Amino acid sequence: MAQPDFLVAVDLVILTVDADVLKVLCVRRGVAPYKGRLALPGGFVRPSEDLADAAERELGEETGLSDLGGHLEQLATYGDPKRDPRGRVLSVAHLALVPDPPPATAGSDAADADWFAVEELLGSRRRLAFDHHRILTDGVARARAKLEYSPLAAAFCRSEFTIGELRQVYEAVWGAELDPRNFHRKVTKTPGFVEATGRTTTRQGGRPARLFVAGGAEVLYPPMQAPA
Amino acid sequence: MAQPDFLVAVDLVILTVDADVLKVLCVRRGVAPYKGRLALPGGFVRPSEDLADAAERELGEETGLSDLGGHLEQLATYGDPKRDPRGRVLSVAHLALVPDPPPATAGSDAADADWFAVEELLGSRRRLAFDHHRILTDGVARARAKLEYSPLAAAFCRSEFTIGELRQVYEAVWGAELDPRNFHRKVTKTPGFVEATGRTTTRQGGRPARLFVAGGAEVLYPPMQAPA
DNA sequence: TCGCCTTCTCGTCAAGGTGACGATTAACAT
DNA sequence: ATGTTAATCGTCACCTTGACGAGAAGGCGA
């Protein structure tokens, strides 16, 4: 029997931490449907392109980054028959974590891209096009969960970072304050989480802080505990 | 520009625990490509069918179950351009956990379906068709991880189960032995994991065991710890 | 220069969770 | 009756965690 054809797109939830606030990159749609509405950046998958390659390409186009120091993983696939009024479009959503906020609109494609506070976007259900509110919700939930049992928070930091900077990542993503002393103990005692470089910096003010790089661990045992 | 069309299929990793062994449902392919090879059950998504609906339909066709008491979730999407020699076929893989082993070949579709020990299938990389070895690997990894921080193990049990039966699920999925006394303490003290029904059973032999049903919790705090 | 403020870093202590393991209970089989 | 099986309860040492004190080492303004 004849099978229906689908269009397949890749949409990106690109998260960063800027000024202690979790932000996501959005573009303003210039064409219908949802013209003028904010949307997650994305695009169609090319004929002989793998999904991961398509996501990496889109990430590069939107941020100008070549994913160096960041993190990119598949999030989930959204296929409600009515999610796109133009037809049967499948969206394979990806989650990207990038350090610093790279200057928005650095890429050529999306002339009108900018960073938005996640908390604000999630507050009003109507600000994002398509089912992107749900995709963003799922992406943020994934990021929050992954900080617990993986050393992924380092993906939000530049290659060398202080324990304090890493703690601010957790605080921004989880929206909770953590005790600096207990956090310091936990991070430095968990094997493979971070490795000291020997260098120090004073960019945070106060006493010079040691600089660390991400360790080799893939998972954290025992996990970081999000506050109850 | 014109976008390429994709065919979209749903493939299922259906896991169960039978005789203390983690098993997966596979079908033997009757047509090329990979004719005669084992494969995960699956099928194409219908024109106006949601992905979750398609997965649930396939699960029902393969097991005869209407997903009662089990668990079904999206796993990941596989889209390598060369994963299917017939063309550009996207596979949205799903993970299902079902209690007991329902009799194989109960459904009408797959005349030649049966349960196979996961450990054996993962041992030889060539026994499964397409990229199903990778999908199975990812599905088992997801299941193992989810047992740690969610009460999902109950999905492998019938509606009423004993602590010992639940422990055997963990032992089969993790491939490790757990101390019955510590497991009992952990499970009964974690809020929302299980709830006593007041009834008992002797189906395990030995002293009568209390029967429990799954509690309302979505996540386990603190998580179960897989042995190091 | 001298406080003062900031942040990092190390310690202490009690509470709670975990692993190891002894002991008892309550069914069934022979 | 006796042994076997598995469930359930208890104990104890150890470790992790949360709360918090205290000092170290920079910058900055008076």
In contact, A82 and B52? CB cutoff 8 Å: no
So what's the pLDDT on residue A106?
Answer: 53
The integer distance in angstroms from the CA atom of B182 to the C1' atom of C20 is 9
Give residue-wise pLDDT tens across range B92-105.
999 999 998 777 66
So what's the pLDDT on residue A111?
Answer: 61
Task: Compute the average pLDDT of residues B136-163.
Answer: 97
More confident of the two residues B225 and B112:
B225
Give residue-wise pLDDT tens across range B7-51.
999 999 999 999 999 999 999 999 989 999 999 999 999 999 999
So what's the pLDDT on residue A63?
Answer: 83
The protein footprint on chain C, as nucleotides within 7 A of a CB, is 5-11, 17-23, 25-28
Paired strand residues for B182: none
Q: Report d(CA B135, CA B133) in Å as an integer.
A: 5
Among B8, B76, B222, beta carbon nearest to A6 = B8
| Residue B21 CB neighbours (<10 A) | 15
Give residue-wise pLDDT tens across range A9-65.
999 999 999 999 999 999 999 998 999 999 999 999 999 999 999 999 999 988 877
The protein footprint on chain D, as nucleotides within 7 A of a CB, is 4-10, 16-27
Grade residue B66 by pLDDT with cuts at 50, 70 and 90: confident
Q: Enumerate the residues of chain A whose CB falls inside 8 A of the CB of residue B93.
A: none
Would you call B50 and A7 a contact, using CB atoms and an 8 Å cutoff?
no
pLDDT less than 70: residues of chain A: 1-4, 68, 104-111
Inter-chain Cβ pairs, chain A and chain B, closer than 8 A: 67
So what's the pLDDT on residue B107?
Answer: 53
Q: Enumerate the residues of chain B whose CB falls inside 8 A of the CB of residue A81.
A: 47-50
So what's the pLDDT on residue A58?
Answer: 94
Shortest Cα distance from A48 to chain B (angstroms)? Answer: 5
So what's the pLDDT on residue B13?
Answer: 98
CA-CA-CA-CA dihedral for A49, A55, A58, A64, to nearest 10: -120
Res B86 pLDDT > 90: yes
Task: Compute the average pLDDT of residues B131-143.
Answer: 98
Q: Report d(CA A201, CA A88) in Å as an integer.
A: 52
Q: What are the E-state strand segments in A45-172?
A: 71-78, 89-97, 113-117
Task: Compute the average pLDDT of residues B138-153.
Answer: 97
User: Does strand D come within 7 Å of the CB of A4?
Assistant: no
Helix (H, G, I), strand (E, B) or coil at B91: strand
Among B51, B149, B225, beta carbon nearest to A77 = B51
The CA angle A165-A168-A173, to the nearest 5 degrees, is 135
| Mean pLDDT, chain B, whole residue set | 93
Q: What is the DSSP letter of A128?
A: B
Binding-site residues on chain B for chain A (CB distance < 8 A):
3-8, 44-51, 74, 76-81, 88, 90, 92, 149, 221-223, 225, 228
In contact, A96 and A52? CB cutoff 8 Å: no
Query: Which residues neighbour B166 within 8 Å (Cβ) at sequence distance 6 or greater?
Result: B153, B154, B157, B187, B194, B212
Q: Is the dihedral of CA A93, A97, A101, A107 positive or negative?
A: negative
Res B106 pLDDT > 60: no
Q: Which nucleotide has the least CA–C1' distance to B166?
A: D7
**Which of B77, B82, B220 would best serve as a mutation to test chain A binding (most A beta carbons within 10 A)?**
B77
| Residue A84 CB neighbours (<10 A) | 19
Task: Compute the average pLDDT of residues B167-178.
Answer: 98
Report protein residues in contact with nucleic acid strand C, where contact means CB under 7 Å. A 162-165, 180-182, 184-185, 188, 200, 204-210; B 179, 181-182, 185-186, 189, 202, 205-208, 222, 225, 227
In contact, B159 and B165? CB cutoff 8 Å: no
pTM score of the predicted model: 0.94
CA-CA-CA-CA dihedral for A25, A97, B139, B215, to nearest 10: -80
Task: Compute the average pLDDT of residues B199-210.
Answer: 95
Assign 3-class secondary structure to B24-71: EEEEECCCCCCCCCEECCEEECCCCCCHHHHHHHHHHHHHCCCCCCCE
Task: Compute the average pLDDT of residues B130-137.
Answer: 98
Would you call B3 and A7 a contact, using CB atoms and an 8 Å cutoff?
yes
Structure-token pair, residue A71: 């993190």
The integer distance in angstroms from the CA atom of B183 to the C1' atom of D8 is 11
So what's the pLDDT on residue B112?
Answer: 82
Res B52 pLDDT > 90: yes
So what's the pLDDT on residue A115?
Answer: 94
Res B175 pLDDT > 70: yes
Distances (CA, A) of A200 to A134, A188, A214: 41, 15, 15
